[in-house]
A and B are shown apart, each in its own frame.
Chain A
Amino acid sequence: MRGKGIALLCLLPFVLFYLAFQIAPLVWIAINSFWSDVNQAWGWDNYSDILTSPFYQQAIRLSLDISLWSSLYGLLIALLGGYSLHQLGNGRLHRFFMSFTNMTSNFAGVPLAFAFVILLGLNGCLTLLMRKYGVMDGFRLFSRDGMVVVYTWFQIPLGILLLYPAFDGLKKEWQESAELLGASRWRYWWHIGLPILSPALIGTFVILLANALGAYATIYALTTGNFNVIPVRIAALVSGDISLDPNTGSALAMLLVVLMAIITVIHQWLVRRSYLNAQ
Chain B
Amino acid sequence: MRYAEKIYHRIIVWLVFLILAVPLAVTLLYALATEWGATIVPDGFTLKWMTALWSDPRFLTALWHSLLICFGSLLFSLVLVLPAMFVIAYYFPKLDAVMNILILLPFAIPPVVSSVGLLQLYSSEPLALTGTPWILIGCYFTIALPFIYRAIANNMQAINLRELIDAAHLLGASTWQAAWLVVLPNLRKGATIAVLLSFSFLIGEFVFANLLVGTSYETLQVYLYNMRNGSGHFTSALVISYFFVVLVVTWLANALNRERG
Contact = CB atoms under 8 A, between A and B. Distances in A.
Interface in B109-129: 109-121
B247 A108 contact: no
A237 B8 CA distance: 50
Interface in A105-132: 106-112, 114-119, 123, 125-126, 128-129, 132
Interface in B1-25: 1, 5-6, 8-10, 12-13, 15-17, 19-24
Given A118-B232, A260-B108, A87 B200 contact: no
B26 A239 contact: no
Contacts of B243: 107, 111
B52 interface: no
B143 to A, nearest CB: 9
A115 B80 contact: no
A174 interface: no
B168 interface: no
Given A13-B80, A14-B83, A118 B26 contact: yes
B93 to A, nearest CB: 12
Contact of B16 (A26, A80, A128): A80
Counting chain B residues whose Cβ lies within 8 A of the other chain, the interface size class is 35 or more
Nearest to A85: B13
Counting chain A residues whose Cβ lies within 8 A of the other chain, the interface size class is 35 or more
B36 interface: yes
B228 interface: yes
Given A111-B242, A129-B40, A119 B26 contact: yes
A235 B239 contact: no
A109 B112 CA distance: 13
Contacts of B30: 118
A264 B1 CA distance: 39
User: Counting chain A CB atoms within 10 Å of each CB, which of B24, B111, B138, B236 scores highest?
Assistant: B24
Contacts of A257: 109, 113
B154 interface: no
Contact of B116 (A13, A81, A119, A238): A238
A115 to B, nearest CB: 4
Tell me if A's interface is mostly helix, strand, loop or mixed.
Answer: helix
Contacts of A81: 12-13, 15-16
A221 B232 contact: no
B112 A234 contact: yes
Contacts of A261: 108
Contacts of B205: 109
A45 B108 CA distance: 26
Nearest to A4: B91
Contact of A10 (B87, B104, B115): B87
Interface string A226-268: 0000010011011100000010011001001100110010000
A84 interface: yes
A25 B108 contact: no
B117 A221 contact: no
B112 A214 contact: yes
B132 interface: no
B23 A153 contact: yes
A115 B116 contact: no
Nearest to B104: A264
B105 A22 contact: yes
Contacts of A269: none
A118 B29 CA distance: 10
A114 B109 contact: no
Interface string B129-147: 0000000001101100100
A101 interface: yes
Contacts of B118: 21, 25
B20 A260 contact: no
Interface in B60-119: 79-81, 83-84, 86-88, 90-92, 102, 104-106, 108-119
Interface of B: 1, 5-6, 8-10, 12-13, 15-17, 19-24, 26-27, 30, 36-38, 40, 79-81, 83-84, 86-88, 90-92, 102, 104-106, 108-121, 138-139, 141-142, 145, 175, 200-201, 204-207, 210-211, 221, 224-225, 228, 232, 235-236, 238-239, 242-243, 246-247, 250, 254
Interface of A: 3-4, 7-8, 10-11, 13-15, 17-18, 20-22, 24-29, 32, 77, 80-81, 84-85, 87-88, 93, 97, 99-104, 106-112, 114-119, 123, 125-126, 128-129, 132, 153, 156-157, 160, 210, 213-217, 220-221, 224, 231, 234-235, 237-239, 246, 249-250, 253, 256-257, 260-261, 264
Nearest first, the 3 closest Cβ-Cβ pairs linking A and B are A25-B117, A214-B110, A81-B16
Given A21-B139, A81-B12, A217-B210, 15 more contacts: A13-B80, A14-B84, A22-B114, A28-B121, A32-B117, A84-B9, A106-B250, A107-B204, A125-B36, A221-B206, A224-B228, A234-B113, A235-B207, A237-B116, A246-B120
